[in-house]
Amino acid sequence: MVPFTKKDRYDFNDFRQVIAILRHPGGCPWDMEQDHHSIRRNFIEEVYEACEGIDQENVPLLREELGDVMMQVLFHASIEEDAGRFTIDDVCDEAVKKLVFRHPHVFGSIQVENLDAELDLWEQVKREEKGQETYTDTLNSVARTLPALWRAEKVQKKAAKAGFTWKDAQGAMIKVEEEAAELREAIAVGSNTEEELGDLLLAVVATARHLNIDPEVALNKATDKYIARFQRVEAQAVSSGHDMKELPLSVLEALWKQAKHQEDIHE
């Protein structure tokens, strides 16, 4: 048994110690075998689960999942500490220095008049910190690992800082219609469909941005609605003594319209 003092309540240092114990001889064989790449997906999943706690306004779940996110942070930092490259204290040091540097209006003498001025200052300071000399540099700085809709939205927001954006949602919608036409043409000739579909999605994201709608949230809500409507279609098929896959598409579409009509009545 490894030396560890059990308590009624633990703090950050105890958390750090437990991770170190698990990852070293005498600890957990599975934990000792892991590296950054093998637990990369775990990291992503834990962040999404923490977001679920936020979306559900579930405080106990959020508290639990934030602990799981912190566990991932400590695990990765422990791997680096063993390699002699940095420790969790170095992570904290860099994070605090970054926050102080990016808030000269709080920790320095710079004055800002409103929120817009503060956001402009944030972008200016961030570009200075990252050594970004061009607008293109700021676009390239957006992480490719973000969900595609969020990455597109963030890239477009940065492009808008250079004045490269439609004036309103109507302008973006015109582009949606243009890209949809180009996709139809690509489908007809059987080429460049992936490229044209991507262009259409970019235009849709631009429309969402002008409407102040989070495209990820909008798509998730639409997917939830799709599942609920599908469930009603399936229930109607089963009640008539059929498996959905036995019915022709025309019948399924009719059932779909009925399900949609029921939604409209209840709204």
Structure tokens at 208: 């969402």
- pLDDT reported for residue 33: 97
Lowest mean pLDDT, pick from 119-128, 176-185, 203-212: 119-128
Going from the C-alpha of 199 to that of each of 146, 155, 159, 161, the distances in angstroms are 18, 14, 16, 21
**Average pLDDT of the residues in 46-70:** 97
Residues 6+ apart with CB under 8 A from 181: none
What does the pLDDT average to over 105-133? 87
Flag whether 238 is in a domain: yes
* Mean pLDDT, all residues of the chain: 94
Instruction: Indicate the number of domains in the chain.
Output: 3
CATH code for the domain in which residue 45 is found: 1.10.287.1080
Residue 224: which domain range?
217-266
| pLDDT value for 255 | 94
Q: Does 17 share its domain with 60?
A: yes
Are 193 and 230 contained in the same domain?
A: no
CA distance 65 to 232: 33
Q: Looking at the domain assignment, is residue 105 inside a domain? A: no
Q: Is the pLDDT reported for residue 126 higher than 90?
A: no
Reply yes or no on whether the pLDDT at 266 is more than 80.
no
Position 167 scores a pLDDT of 93
Least confident of 77-86, 88-97, 110-119, 247-256: 110-119
Q: Is the pLDDT of residue 122 over 90?
A: no
Of the three residues 63, 86, 109, the one that is the final residue of a domain is 86
Residue finishing a domain among 213, 233, 251? 213
Question: What pLDDT is attached to residue 262?
Answer: 82
Give the per-residue pLDDT at 267. Answer: 62
Distances (CA, A) of 130 to 28, 101, 126, 168, 262: 39, 12, 6, 31, 53
3-state secondary structure the chain: CCCCCCCCCCCHHHHHHHHHHHCCCCCCHHHHHCCCCCCHHHHHHHHHHHHHHHHCCCHHHHHHHHHHHHHHHHHHHHHHHHHCCCCHHHHHHHHHHHHHHHCHHHHCCCCCCCHHHHHHHHHHHHHHHHCCCCHHHHHHCCCCCCCHHHHHHHHHHHHHCCCCCCCCHHHHHHHHHHHHHHHHHHHHHCCCHHHHHHHHHHHHHHHHHHCCCCHHHHHHHHHHHHHHHHHHHHHHHHHCCCCHHHCCHHHHHHHHHHHHHHHHHHC
Percent of the chain having pLDDT more than 90? 84
Q: Are residues 195 and 239 in the same domain?
A: no
Q: Tens digit of pLDDT for each residue in 186-216?
A: 999 999 999 999 999 999 999 999 999 999 9
Of 165, 156, 149, 200, nearest to 179 by C-alpha is: 200
pLDDT (0 to 100) of residue 149: 96
pLDDT digits (tens, 9 = 90+) for 11-57: 999 999 999 999 999 999 999 999 999 999 999 999 999 999 999 99
Q: Is 234 a domain residue?
A: yes
pLDDT in tens, 77-104: 999 999 999 999 999 999 999 999 989 9
Q: Report the pLDDT value the prediction gives residue 263, as an integer from 0 to 100.
A: 80
* 1 confidence band (pLDDT: 50, 70, 90): confident
Q: Cβ-count burial of 206 within 10 angstroms (0-12 exposed, 13-18 middle, 19+ buried)?
A: buried
